[in-house]
Structure 1
Amino acid sequence: MSSTEEKAQPSAAPRRRLSRADRQRQLLDVAWRLVREEGSEALTLARLADQAGVTKPIVYDHFITRSGLLAALYKDFDVRQMAVINAAIEASEPELESRAQVIASSFVECVLLQGREIPGVSAALSGSPELERIKRECEGKFLDKCRVVLEPFAGTNGVGQAGLRAMLGAAEALSNAAATGEISADEAKQELFASIVAMVGRTVDTSPS
């Protein structure tokens, strides 16, 4: 090839530098894949950097510690879960059965989409007081949303925190059982739906006449 032809060849396009938000999205996506394929125990900042094709300082700049990475994953799941639930509620009928079905189906589907990743992340979160606080904050937002949605169908005392906590415990246990194949997704949704309706029904049954 002549020098003239060489000069005519287009130069390689420069690599586009990702924005901070786009880079974090990329790192989170890679982290979810690592947890899915190898489990949360295998997730370290160094391993994430290697799999994402970036230097370690970039990963440390975004998450600082492994605990920070796990917290970011949990928050990422929470944001997507709440978006799905909010959209489903907006499209549902203002009736107890419809709203209960939406909560049950959305919760189970979100966990199933993450496969075994979110149970692993949740388990890792429980080992640190700081991470446990973050988990509680995310749970609190979900419970507050459920209270607002279900309260119109409850008795005069409203939906109690104990009932909501019991509902959340059932939601997590049933969703995780469906994710591992112990029960079907439909069974998880139906049982959770029944639990939600029963929980709200008890507030009506015990309300003053």
Structure 2
Amino acid sequence: MSREERQAQLIDTAQRLVREEGTDALTLGRLAQEAGVTKPVVYDHFGTRDGLLVALYRHYDALQNAALDAALAACSPSLAERAEVIASAYVRCVLTQGQEIPGVAAALAGAPGMDALKRGYQTDFIAKCRRVLEPFAGGGRLTLASLWAMLGAADAVSDAAARGEIRAGEATDELCRNIISMVDRHRA
């Protein structure tokens, strides 16, 4: 098995462990046992438990970005459709991961560099949304405050849907309306 294939196997096994037993069950030793490899193999890939958790977090972000990019590439260039794609991709990704990633993020709270990593992913998402949505603002520029508010709304409604407090369709629809309203407010 190549290094990349082994890394993917370890990430898949770690995700399964977190999904089935929670973040506390995930140790490098347990991952080695579940993956059928020796501890040195796991240590070689991740170094520390925090390294493993960061890799899981990065994997989740890569999946979210790939899903959003594919959906945006396939949609028509209209504000309504772009807003729908952003909203549905965001909610779907959170629902797909359930409470796994919040558990991983909580386990990494206070880990060196975690805040910067999370902030980097957030600012990348905001920049992507700006590029995709700003052309519909009629020459106006979407403010960072509005884009951060959109991200906060995305997190809130997705989290509520993941907990079963609202339906996924409600979360998507509300977020879509929020995005369209944000763009409309910035029209020049």
- TM-score norm. by structure 2 comes to 0.94
Pick the structure with greater CA Rg: 1
- Corresponding position of 1:46: 29
Output the CA distance in 1 between the equivalents of 2:20 and 2:154. Answer: 24
Deviation of 1:72 (Å): 0.7
Superimposed CA distance per residue, residues 9-40 of structure 1 (whole angstroms, 9 cap, x where no aligned partner) = xxxxxxxxx11000000000011111111111
Q: Normalization by structure 1: what TM-score? A: 0.85
Separation (CA, whole Å) in 2 of partners of 1:199 and 1:136: 22
User: C-alpha offsets along residues 140-194 of structure 1, whole Å, 9 cap, x if unaligned?
Assistant: 2211111100010125441111111111111112112111211111011011111
Q: How many residues align?
A: 188
| Contact 2:134/2:140 (<8 A) preserved | no
SS of the residue 1:28 aligns to? helix
CA shift for structure 1 position 128 = 2.2
Which residue of structure 1 aligns with residue 160 of structure 2? 177
CA offset at residue 131 of structure 1? 1.3
Percentage of matched positions with identical amino acids: 58
- Equivalent of 2:66 in 83, 90, 95: 83
CA-based RMSD of the aligned residues comes to 1.3
Alpha-carbon distance between aligned partners in 1 of 2:109 and 2:139, rounded to the nearest angstrom: 35
- State how far apart, in whole Å, the 2-side matches of 1:51 and 1:157 are: 53
Between 27-36 and 137-146, the greater mean CA deviation after superposition: 137-146
1:107-146: CA deviations, max 9, x gaps? 1111111122122122233322411211111222211111
As a proportion of its length, which structure holds more helix?
Answer: 2
Gaps of 5+ in 1: 1-17
Q: Which residue of the other structure, out of 61, 78, 82, is the alignment partner of 1:99?
A: 82
Cα separation, 1, equivalents of 2:125 and 2:9: 26
Partner of 2:101: 118
Q: Which residue of 2 aligns with 1:27?
A: 10
Structure 2 residues without counterparts, runs of 5 or longer: none
Q: Who is 1:7 aligned against?
A: none
Residue of structure 2 equivalent to 1:149: 132
